[in-house]
Amino acid sequence: VIGRDNLFVCDASALARLPERNPFLVVVRLAEAAVARWSPPPSFKVPS
């Protein structure tokens, strides 16, 4: 998305090939792993 800072997208294009069933849960798990890796340290305070 152009014009948005700190916005990351995780989608099914990260998979080498699509599974036989709906890849929704796989994509959700990829997104959760990405958030865990990219999230700021606990001391980070979000400005309000």
pLDDT score recorded for residue 26: 87
| Reduced 3-state DSSP string for the chain | CCCCCCCCCCCHHHCCCCCCCCCHHHHHHHHHHHHHHHCCCCCCCCCC
pLDDT score recorded for residue 46: 73
pTM of the full structure: 0.59
pLDDT score recorded for residue 41: 67
pLDDT at 42 over 80: no
How do the domains of the chain map onto residue ranges?
1-43
Residue pLDDT, tens place only, 20-36: 888 888 889 988 998 88
Residue pLDDT, tens place only, 3-23: 888 788 888 887 888 778 888
Q: How far is CA 11 from CA 43, 44, 46, 47, 48, in A?
A: 29, 27, 26, 28, 29
Distance CA 33, CA 9 (A): 12
